[in-house]
Amino acid sequence: MKSYLDHRTTVGSWLGTTDHKRIGLMFLVATAAMLLLGGAFAILLRLEHLTPGPTIMGAPAYNRVFTLHGVIMVWLFMIPSIPATFGNFLLPVMLGARDVAFPRLNLASFYIYLLGAAITLGGVVASGADTGWTFYVPYSSTTFTPVIPILIGVFILGWSTIITGINFIATTHTLRARNMGWMDIPLFVWAIYATSVIQVLATPVLGMTLLLVTMDHGFGWGFFDPAKGGDVVLFQHVFWFYSHPAVYIMILPAMGVVSEVICTFARKDPYSYVAIAASSVGIAFTGFLTWGHHMFTAGMSTLDAGIFGALSMFVAIFSAIKVFTWTGTLYRGQIQLRSPLAYVFTFLFLFVFGGMTGVAVATTSLDVHWHDTYFVVAHFHFIMVGGTLTTYLAALNYWWPKITGRLYPEKWAMVAAVLTFFGFFSTFFPQFLLGNGGMPRRYYDYAEQFQALHLISTGGSWILSAAFLVTIAYLGWSLVYGEKAGPNPWGSRSYEWFTSSPPPPHNFEETPEFRHRPYDYHERIGT
């Protein structure tokens, strides 16, 4: 039986494919390349901070490098990484569908992503921007650097995000297997569904904002210029109305991966399926109401600050529901400590640690002290980068046998997982201390008293780089020498493991009819 990988092998069959699995795999290659590129910029930033004053670059180059690091990591890796790759590959399989609802539109979303990436990277080559990834005005509307190609590139990337979200919503509503109700769909699908709603509703606001900044920079229209009747704070409102929900575009898919991995390697039903599914929707909804907590220092009334702070706490409540439910699932489970679960444990540590600092910065009195310091950088990286990166690697290891049909050397995978934890923690924990000590973020130079913490942080980035190299090596080895995985090497009872690995072109040899729920570890099951 031929799989989706070998039933047609020409270059044209890949470039013109409408198979969601092949499109997901192409997204995987593209986003992984962006991760490595964004990571290379991060290494340059950490090298520069080895010493106070100039180390390897000047101040203007430093401003460009931290901007390009943020632009590439946020817009080209973190937002599309899990939804566009693993969502594309797995959502139809988990629903028992042959493909997504709009296969050609799905292929178009990939090429729109490539177009947006090409224009954005073109802006990078053309000396780059120095505005930071948030493009705050008035600097982004007045900078001498060529920021417009990057603004337009990110605008185009947004279209890819919207199309992908529409496709996933339509697929979930219309192509579920016979007898599959809403309370039967896998938790990863719930997470992708909630993410898609945010993508469709919030991304147009970002697009509008970026176009207005483009008009201000290119033509001096003055939407955000008080001298021309505009409002500079208005930019922050519309930017964060998108960008705070965008936080959940990154973290909700990660939570879906965690739910799948924990159930499989604990050999146990989720402690509360309904609580995990409902909290995903709750986070998606509440995320639209909390953008103001990014603006406590921008000028707002005490009442408004209190309301935004209180609403932000609701996100913490929904997140806590998930953490307690995952912990309850692990409790008394038949735990098999494999590399995907090791990455999930790292996620839980970073998420709980970083989440508590998020509760702190949602409190106005503390936020005023830590705003625009390295404390915020560390908080963002613990929650968003750590959350996305560790679950991206967990998903890559967990579904690698499903995607490629090959196993990898588990020993080296565990080595990479351990290096990732220590590398990430030693890189970003010192930045909490730097911020609390008064070190502003995005500063090229710093006082000598901060050098020891910067030195530890830079050393951590090298450990993290070693983890990436090990990962690339053992996954590359498995493609050539890896043992065949068989259909279900983890013994999971999630739906995607009820077809061959790798799957056939239309996912299942026969139309599936699932007669059990996706995590019934206490029952004998079959399709």
Q: Which of the 8 DSSP states describes residue 154? A: H
Question: What is the SS3 assignment for 281?
Answer: helix
pLDDT band at 241 (very low <50, low <70, confident <90, very high): confident
Quote the CA–CA distance of 212 and 235 in Å, as a whole number. 9
Question: Residue 141 is encoded by which pair of tokens?
Answer: 């509307």
The pLDDT assigned to 527 comes to 41
pLDDT digits (tens, 9 = 90+) for 3-41: 999 888 899 999 999 999 999 999 999 999 999 999 999
- Measure Cα distances from 483 to 102, 199, 401, 405, 410 in Å: 35, 38, 10, 9, 12
pLDDT digits (tens, 9 = 90+) for 206-228: 888 999 999 999 888 888 989 98
Quote the CA–CA distance of 381 and 465 in Å, as a whole number. 16
Residue 47 sits at φ, ψ, to 5 deg, of -65, -40
Quote the CA–CA distance of 1 and 258 in Å, as a whole number. 32
372-385 b/e (C-beta count within 10 Å ≥ 16 → b): ebbbbbbbbbbbbb
pLDDT band at 402 (very low <50, low <70, confident <90, very high): very high
pLDDT digits (tens, 9 = 90+) for 245-301: 778 888 899 999 999 999 999 999 999 999 999 998 888 888 788 888 788 887 788
What share of the chain in percent tops pLDDT 70? 99
165-197 b/e (C-beta count within 10 Å ≥ 16 → b): bbbbbebbeebbbeebeeebbbbbbbbbbbbbb
Quote the CA–CA distance of 56 and 245 in Å, as a whole number. 36
For range 374-394, the mean pLDDT: 93
The pLDDT assigned to 105 comes to 96
For range 120-125, the mean pLDDT: 86
- Measure Cα distances from 442 to 62, 66, 69, 410, 514 in Å: 9, 8, 12, 39, 52
Quote the CA–CA distance of 308 and 244 in Å, as a whole number. 12
Q: Which of 286, 283, 308 is nearest to 297 (CA)?
A: 308
The pTM is what?
Answer: 0.93
Q: Map 337-401 to HEC letters.
A: CCHHHHHHHHHHHHHHHHHHHHHHHCCHHHHHHHCCEHHHHHHHHHHHHHHHHHHHHHHHHHHHH
Does residue 427 contact residue 461 with C-beta atoms inside 8 Å?
yes
pLDDT band at 310 (very low <50, low <70, confident <90, very high): confident
Which residues, at least 6 apart from 153, have a Cβ–Cβ distance to it below 8 Å? 75, 116, 117, 118, 119, 120, 121, 122, 123
The pLDDT assigned to 526 comes to 47
For range 352-363, the mean pLDDT: 85
pLDDT band at 114 (very low <50, low <70, confident <90, very high): very high
Question: Residue 340 is encoded by which pair of tokens?
Answer: 């995907």
296-312 b/e (C-beta count within 10 Å ≥ 16 → b): beeebeeeebebbbebb
For range 148-159, the mean pLDDT: 93
Question: Residue 409 is encoded by which pair of tokens?
Answer: 């050397």
Residue 343 sits at φ, ψ, to 5 deg, of -65, -35
Element spanning 318, H or E: helix 302-330
pLDDT digits (tens, 9 = 90+) for 62-73: 999 999 999 999
pLDDT digits (tens, 9 = 90+) for 285-305: 887 888 887 888 877 888 888
Q: How many helices (H) and strands (E) does the chain have?
A: 17, 0
Q: Which of 461, 451, 447, 453 is nearest to 433 (CA)?
A: 453
The pLDDT assigned to 400 comes to 97
Q: Which of 370, 129, 118, 382 is nearest to 250 (CA)?
A: 382
| pLDDT greater than 90 at residue 434 | yes
Please list the helix, strand and coil fractions of the chain in percent, rounded to the nearest 5, in that order. 70, 0, 30
The pLDDT assigned to 524 comes to 57
